């Protein structure tokens, strides 16, 4: 008696569906490899040893954070340089010209110049209240608050501080004392300055390097600038009763302070420039390390384009053959065997 083995229709249907599913999954995986250039099954490609690729991925993530921090630091430093540049432009030639005018210009011209310089001082306030990417860069670590209050309020406070002074020396001394008064004494720091003196928080841009600046609108360099401007602002606003000799003495005192302040500003900008240079160098180093790690990562998990394309073609051919077989089997009838 001849034995006869057959595969039931349901079993055959199941086998066809299983084969179709496996081939479709393989096709999807190979298609993804072609699109991304990365092996679909990384643990299999690395024989289960994921320690090296995990280290590389972790380091790349850290480097991306450092680069973002460096970009923010660069933006902050650029903002500081632009703002300080505006301030220094206002005072750079002003000191020498004020000294010259003190001895040569008539009283009426001096008082008109004092008014012009007062408006320049107002512009300095605006520059120091610069906001870069949502952060007030002269407010210390209190970056959500504009560092300086109202210019007009400052003029009022200045007048109160100088009240009773009649000689040029007394007026200058009172203005200096008001700007330099320690916190809690009712001076500039308490009434006009809104930031804090902790400086901008240090920003990590690599494992070994942080950058930042302690410069604020309350730093000595900027207060020295404001003192020189404030002297002539006082002349413009409250100097109607001052005699010509006193006005000239105040112009001389202002000019001397502004010349000194110009040097202070140059030093401050140079220090920020050093921070900019350090940031740029670190960005370059981070980028180089990131490129090196990306190459190492690619070496570990990249799919070979030729092998992947060949496997993809073979899989597509297998799927086509499976569809042909399925179609042929679906047309079979009992009468074909009788």
pLDDT of residue 26: 58
What does the alpha-carbon distance between residue 57 and residue 63 come to, in Å, rounded to a whole number? Answer: 10
Statement: residue 232 has pLDDT above 60: yes
- In degrees to the nearest 10, what's the CA dihedral of 261, 265, 268, 272? 170
Statement: residue 250 has pLDDT above 60: yes
Residue with the two structure tokens 């003192």: 227
For 54-293, give the CATH class.
Answer: mainly alpha
Listed residue (232, 101, 234, 249) closest to 167, CA to CA: 249
Mean pLDDT score across all residues of the chain: 85
Statement: residue 338 has pLDDT above 50: no
Q: Which residue has the higher pLDDT, 332 or 153?
A: 153
Per-domain residue ranges of the chain: 54-293
pLDDT digits (tens, 9 = 90+) for 171-197: 999 999 999 999 999 999 999 999 998
DSSP annotation of 148 reads: B
Statement: residue 105 has pLDDT above 70: yes
Name the least confident of 77-91, 139-153, 293-307: 293-307
What does the alpha-carbon distance between residue 283 and residue 68 come to, in Å, rounded to a whole number? Answer: 9
Q: Which residue has the higher pLDDT, 276 or 200?
A: 276
Residues 223, 104 contacting (CB under 8 angstroms): no
Q: CB-based contacts of 333: which residues, under 8 Å, 6+ apart?
A: none
Distance between alpha carbon 312 and the CA centroid of its chain, in Å? 45
What values do phi and psi take at 203, rounded to 5? -110, 125
pLDDT band for 104, please (50, 70, 90 cuts).
Answer: very high
Residues 176, 162 contacting (CB under 8 angstroms): no
pLDDT of residue 337: 43
Residues 302, 35 contacting (CB under 8 angstroms): no
Residue with the two structure tokens 């970009």: 71
Listed residue (208, 218, 209, 199) closest to 275, CA to CA: 209
pTM: 0.78
Statement: residue 293 has pLDDT above 80: yes
Q: CB-based contacts of 12: which residues, under 8 Å, 6+ apart?
A: 329
Mean pLDDT of 43-64: 80
What values do phi and psi take at 50, rounded to 5? -100, 5
- In degrees to the nearest 10, what's the CA dihedral of 280, 286, 287, 288? 110
Residues 217, 87 contacting (CB under 8 angstroms): no
Residue with the two structure tokens 């202002």: 254
């Amino acid at each position: 008696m001849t034995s006869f083995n057959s595969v039931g229709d349901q079993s055959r249907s199941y086998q066809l569906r299983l084969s179709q599913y496996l081939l479709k999954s393989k096709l999807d995986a190979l298609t993804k490899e072609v699109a991304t250039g990365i092996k679909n099954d990384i643990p299999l490609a690395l024989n289960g040893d994921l320690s090296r690729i995990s280290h590389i991925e972790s380091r790349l993530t850290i480097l991306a954070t450092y680069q973002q921090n460096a970009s923010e630091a660069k933006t902050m430093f650029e903002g500081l340089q632009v703002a300080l540049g505006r301030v220094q432009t206002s005072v750079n030639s002003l000191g020498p010209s004020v000294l010259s005018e003190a001895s040569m210009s008539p009283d009426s011209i001096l008082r008109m110049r004092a008014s012009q310089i007062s408006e320049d001082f107002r512009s300095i306030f605006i520059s120091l209240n610069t906001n870069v990417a949502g952060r007030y860069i002269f407010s210390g670590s209190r970056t959500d608050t504009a560092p300086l209050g109202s210019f007009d309020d400052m003029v009022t406070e200045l007048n109160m501080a100088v009240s009773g002074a009649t000689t040029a020396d007394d007026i200058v001394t009172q203005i200096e004392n008001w700007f330099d008064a320690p916190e809690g004494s009712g001076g500039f720091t308490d009434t006009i300055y809104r930031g804090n003196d902790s400086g901008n928080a240090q920003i990590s841009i690599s494992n070994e390097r942080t950058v930042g600046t302690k410069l604020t609108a309350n730093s000595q360099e900027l207060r020295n600038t404001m003192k020189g401007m404030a002297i002539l602002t006082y002349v413009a606003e409250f100097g109607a009763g001052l005699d010509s000799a006193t006005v000239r003495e105040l112009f001389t005192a202002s000019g001397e302070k502004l010349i000194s302040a110009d040097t202070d500003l140059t030093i401050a900008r140079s220090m920020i420039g050093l921070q900019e240079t350090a940031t740029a160098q670190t960005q370059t180093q981070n980028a180089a390390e990131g490129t090196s790690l990306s190459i190492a990562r690619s070496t570990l998990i990249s799919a070979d384009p030729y092998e992947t394309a060949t496997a993809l073609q073979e899989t597509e051919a297998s799927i086509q053959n499976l569809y042909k077989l399925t179609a042929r089997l679906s047309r079979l009838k009992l009468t074909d065997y009788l």
